[in-house]
Structure 1
């Protein structure tokens, strides 16, 4: 872990591949995952970045691909969902989806029965179970204990990831670093230098992978040690950094289109 990450630099010209976490990185967290929205400015920025990087842009997220599509509609960008258990390797292309195992469904029922009535949201994401405690932070320890106890009853091959405001149970192969490596093996990412922005414990594996590839790892709002070599203070700063490095024509393009639509 890097105890003293640096302020995030202005990137030099180069062939970059950009990987983005969503919640806490592009969007502020909310008490419920569905209580967030995407601005037209952010959609325009992402479209511009994808175009300027010749398509080498992908979401690397704990959300399912379907949830990402609903959030960013009508955009359907390259996405690794559920920490890499789901993939869409081409914009608008087919999705390699993941189903919910029966043993995970049964555990979700039990945890939901105990916690869901206490402002805790239990999110079923196929083979990933997420317990969100942002609206009830005093229950994070209890939720974590329940999930850790559940791990003992599952077949081998699962792990618990504790986050800033919740805890998740997922298969061992669910790893953002593996998702980044998969994209880096195919066009248009192959041969480029990776940049990964994330904000939580589940992103650390992605930072390590990015560092090993000689890329730029950036953690938003870091809390304690991180493998990321650079930091940005908040979501607003992250959007500003992306705008300055990858999409500085997006706003002017939008303004130009607006002026043309209004006429002289």
Structure 2
């Protein structure tokens, strides 16, 4: 069990603006929307995409979504995106105008994807297939975790892949994929370059984003409770994130 983190709330955005330009990197599930039993059962506010676009305009377009979800899946839930985004844990990156940042990432090997599909169907997992990875969800039945983890680790070893853990999810990705990489890539280009990075997220995979923000002169904000964490500040839930962002 994680102990409860006891971190102070972050400074207000108007106060941060007085210190110079900053960039916001925002996780999606558990940060901008509440977690749900399955990836497709989340509840997304009808104005969230417009609200994020307005926020991005106020910050001279220095706002990026950095999600474990694939970019097409984010668009399916949010509609047209007018902010920068990184999907599949940061490996697929697009600027606000839709232009690609970096190379087109490779998908998982076909036989690995088929093995995951067969295992999920037989084992009671919800399979989330992505252009550049795949995830086994088991929020509806936490007892599935040991079998899912053992299978994923074996499959990863046979195909030179990596396993990423999250809240009731086990994911297979290509080596080196992380939200840290996404933050560092965005921070090298306009309009992000030269700003102070702030990463907001709730899950273990967001610790990579916290690390990048911290090492680049900014900080992380943990949503919910978890320790250990590299975050400097804390907000209790997605509603508090919306309040802090002014959405």
Q: Quick check: TM above 0.5? A: yes
TM-score (normalised: structure 1): 0.83
Matched residues in 2 for 1:108 and 1:5: separation? 40
Unaligned ranges ≥5, structure 2: none
Q: Give, in angstroms, the shift of residue 97 of structure 1.
A: 4.1
* Structure 2 residue 83 is the aligned partner of structure 1 residue 77: yes
Match of 2:63 among 54, 57, 60: 57
How many residues are aligned here? 239
Q: Give, in angstroms, the shift of residue 70 of structure 1.
A: 1.8
Q: Give, in angstroms, the shift of residue 50 of structure 1.
A: 0.8
Q: 1:252 — aligned with what?
A: none
TM-score (normalised: structure 2): 0.88
Matched residues in 2 for 1:241 and 1:71: separation? 22
Deviations 1:162-200 (A, max 9, x none): 212111121222111111111111111111111111111
Contact kept, 8 Å, 1:118 with 1:136, in 2: the verdict is no
**1:70-149 to 2 correspondences below 5 Å:** 70-94=76-100, 97-102=104-109, 105-149=110-154
Judged with a 3 Å threshold, the aligned counterparts in structure 2 of structure 1 residues 183 and 233 are, in CA distance, closer, same or farther, namely: same
Q: Give, in angstroms, the shift of residue 77 of structure 1.
A: 2.2
Q: 1:227 — aligned with what?
A: 230
Match of 1:8 among 7, 10, 17: 10
Matched residues in 2 for 1:109 and 1:211: separation? 39
Q: 1:27 — aligned with what?
A: 33
Q: Give, in angstroms, the shift of residue 216 of structure 1.
A: 2.5
Q: 1:198 — aligned with what?
A: 201
Q: 2:72 — aligned with what?
A: 66
Matched residues in 2 for 1:116 and 1:224: separation? 34
Matched residues in 2 for 1:114 and 1:68: separation? 25
Matched residues in 1 for 2:80 and 2:86: separation? 17
**1:243-258 to 2 correspondences below 5 Å:** 243=246
Contact kept, 8 Å, 1:69 with 1:76, in 2: the verdict is no
Using the TM superposition, name which of 159-168 and 189-198 deviates more: 159-168
Over the residues paired in the alignment, what is the CA RMSD in angstroms? 2.1
3-state SS of paired residue (1:152): helix
Unaligned ranges ≥5, structure 1: 248-264
